[in-house]
Structure 1
């Protein structure tokens, strides 16, 4: 052990240790390993302390099982996350990788254990879990599988991404999927509000935010983000909405293809045009913009699942957009591609 390049090993940011096969006692530990365990090397050697002695009681059985499999030759090594108890009774989380060191005839002589301190990560996970429960926040870290590692645009959904999309309301799914597709293609992020369905439970509104992060460790692209429950704020907003405005919006949702004006709608629902303008001005979006959003969503659906013989022009006119050039410009602003590109992709046999 004295011949080990101690200066080099002590400079590493992970714990390195050499462990006896027969007793499991620690014979060498670099500076980081000693810091993690809370013992100087001399004390570890003098008191014949083993890793199992320092392992948190609830983690010992799983650690022992892995160790016995390694001794029996059933596995070549193992990795696990477990807790260590320091002399001051504080607990440290470690990610451990254990591999055998063999002599010339192939027999195990030592074990090498590499320990990474992940206490901060575990604390953050616990805090985030608590915050999620309090704030209605859910987080995700999904692996995005590309058609090949060199692809800049092609993206195939993993099972976890498919599962997330399957939980989205059918009317909002295509829009979210498109937002994710654009984020993956450009290695950027997205923010979008959409509805999710909890099994047979009620529909909830969430604001989803995600960003693409490349992980050098597994050479994969991850979609990392969170979804904040917006159901209560939306419900409060709806409760604050005057009854004539609510009925007006319900009418617009159902009869989105009809040409209308604020004056006509105001007269139909017994409210002054001035009151309509004032309400929507305070909400941050005009009634005209809201009607355009609804029509654009229907246009998106028709372009994504086109009927035989459908054209961009016919869909634009059907959805109330009389100017095809203006429609194409607004569509691209919302969905990141032209209507022709959406229709061509949907019509492609691939």
Structure 2
């Protein structure tokens, strides 16, 4: 019986080994095929994605801009060239995998650089009109066949690349205006492919490893192996957890400390550090000095009252925690602004004895806020004391106001809120009717020429009074030269106009009789004859 049992066990072991090796070979074959298939699909997918990216980017380049380019040094002074170049530079900056972006043009069977993404002071800069002498047959495919192409890895004087070229077509006459190109370093081009392939390879190896481990477990004492494996994995997780905790604790820029009521602890009872380097840096003190003082002693007195009130509620269990902006005092007397978060710590912490203090240095932000507030106050004072009214409005026939200065009330008799978005009255309704159409026509004329608008006209104020005003303004344009808004200054010139009328009256009338003088009569007579 013992012999039969032993023979049966050996037979079972042999069958298990055969099954193991067969499964191992099958997994290896499947894994190899999946790795090859993943690599092939990844390369093809990347080609299609980069072509789509190039097409999308090229479609944003106005074809009217390309029609103005000649692929020569004459383009350097053209605004269209500068606009396209700036867009290419920003495009490359926002796509870390792309090294170059450029536009080729074909002239006399030679490929010329029209625009590239390199600054003019770069050693890799190619000025418009430079011939691409290293062009190969595949560089001509977009020009001849009018289809996108992705090159195989190649090397030129700039390095090793994979290029993506898409034609920019003028569909009205079916002509190629140029070719938009993107250059990827070979190292980054295959990065995603390699990553995906490695992932599949690792998965295959993992499966193989699992099969091997299973065979080993079957061959050995299952319970003993399981026990050892459990201890080993637990130890690894504990070690990894401690390493991760220490890395985060030591390397974060956020200050972290564990406190016992009003005192910060150097370490817990189990020897775990309780004050991280960032906390020491923010407070300007080593952890030993921090532990020697209470946090109330190094808090700015102006912030201490609020902090103590929150802390009292926290210790009483009224609130779960709190956060606030406060100032700590460093040993040199300087203050540091922090955003502080206090939360309970449920670790070796009976009766809510310990709590967690997290601080972030916001001194720079506070300085910026202070400067911004001072700047806004200065600007507000300046605008409020300017004569007349500063405005910004929409380019429509109502002159819909988006902003007016405080001078609006004195000038028009209306509050700023009454004009904003035409809530009570539009500025066009304030303009004397006989000037409205002329002002609209004049604005259109100056905007088309990108000139300043300057004109004197009459307005009717809220109380029905007529005032002469002088307006000077200009248009605000977007990147496509479309008028977005208008802005300018309108001032009261009624006193000047009244003075001019009085001077004109004196020049045209006799001082004693009040009748037209001889010179004025002659002028009127001549005007009537004409």
Tell me, yes or no, whether TM beats 0.5: no
TM-score of the aligned structures, taking structure 2 as reference length: 0.29
TM-score, length basis structure 1: 0.42
The structure whose RCO (Cα within 8 Å, separation 6+) is larger is 1
